[in-house]
Amino acid sequence: MIEKVKAACAFLRERIPSSPESAVILGSGLGFFADSLEGRTVISYEEIPNWPLSTAPGHGGRLVYGRLGDRDVLVMQGRVHYYEGYPMEQVVFPVRVLGEFGVKNLVITNASGGVDTALSPGDIVLLEDHINFMGANPLRGPDTPGWNDRFPDMTRCYDEEFTAAFEAAAAAEGVPVRRGVYFAFSGPSFETPAEIRMARTLGATVVGMSTVPEAITANAMGLRVCALSCVANAAAGMTMNTLTGQEVLDEMAKTSEKLIRLLNRFFKEMR
């Protein structure tokens, strides 16, 4: 795998003129943020050697490099999920490449279901922790010396300073945010009401089908990670509604404007 990562990295070095310290992964229906970068270089995922291609609706397939304020940023417009059938090492391949490319800071975004009864669609939750209920860990497999510890600490997976910086950005933008715990199911079926009650009992604030593999891998590689979860719907059993993927995308289209403002301010004020 490390050779495949190095090949992707070598390709990106030819196309990208600098070595950005920060990267963003955009979740379902949140792709518009990449349009706010200046001086963009757009690379289709198909061009990058070994890069997994997303089959999920609402996920573009482009890596966008550009400037935000005076900072260079790499933005992943679209990701692959475990539920698409990719093995975990493929799901986190892009994170491996970003780390190898020299990225130090990773902002992960996602769409989620609200488990906490106080949440409504459109709310934004900054992850302070997660519960990995996917039944798989992206670091499973032969140990690759030099890549990450065999047993990486997960006590501070989500960087406190970045999370506080997002809170400050949110206050300045007048966007309410709160902190919470993300509970990851593998999907692709939505959860049952009983599963949501279980998740709530176990301390979940939101549920989703992404982010955790990426956060584990980035944390293990020594990147500073923070994650913003955009609540698309009340989780299963909390309303009379049936859940659809389309509803998630429609809600995200509405939330993306707020999220873009937060990301812009965060990067412009980042020290």
- Site residues for ligand HPA per CB under 6 A: 111-113, 190-191, 207-209, 232-233, 235, 243, 248
- Beta partners for 22? 73, 105
The 8 Å CB, 24+ separation contacts for 11-15 are: 11/47, 11/48, 11/49, 12/43, 12/48, 12/63, 12/97, 12/101, 13/101, 15/41, 15/43, 15/65
- Residue found under tokens 């490319």: 101
State in angstroms the smallest separation of the CB of 147 from ligand HPA.
Answer: 29
CB atoms within 10 A of CB 50: 15
User: Residue 58 or 94: which CB sits closer to ligand HPA?
Assistant: 58
Smallest distance from ligand HPA to CB 228, Å: 14
**Calculated CA dihedral for residues 103, 208, 177, 267, nearest 10 degrees:** 20
Strand partners, 41: 65
For ligand HPA, the closer CB: 92 or 235 = 235
Q: What token pair was written down for 75? A: 């933005």
Q: How far is the CB of 83 from ligand HPA (least distance, A)?
A: 10
The CA angle 258-259-264, to the nearest 5 degrees, is 100
Using the minimum distance from each CB to ligand HPA, give the nearer residue, 44 or 55: 55
Distance of CA 241 to the CA centre of its chain: 26
Closest separation in Å from C-beta 65 to ligand HPA: 28
Nearer to ligand HPA, 91 or 220 (CB): 91
Q: Toward ligand HPA, which CB reaches closer, 144 or 192?
A: 192
* Minimum CB distance to ligand HPA, residue 100 (Å): 29
**CB proximity list for 171: less than 8 A, separation 6 or greater:** none
Q: Which residue sits closest to ligand HPA, CB atoms considered?
A: 113
CB of 111 to ligand HPA, least distance (A): 4
Q: Contact, 195 vs 263, CB < 8 A?
A: no
Instruction: Please identify, using beta-carbon distances, which residue of 228 and 235 lies nearer to ligand HPA.
Output: 235
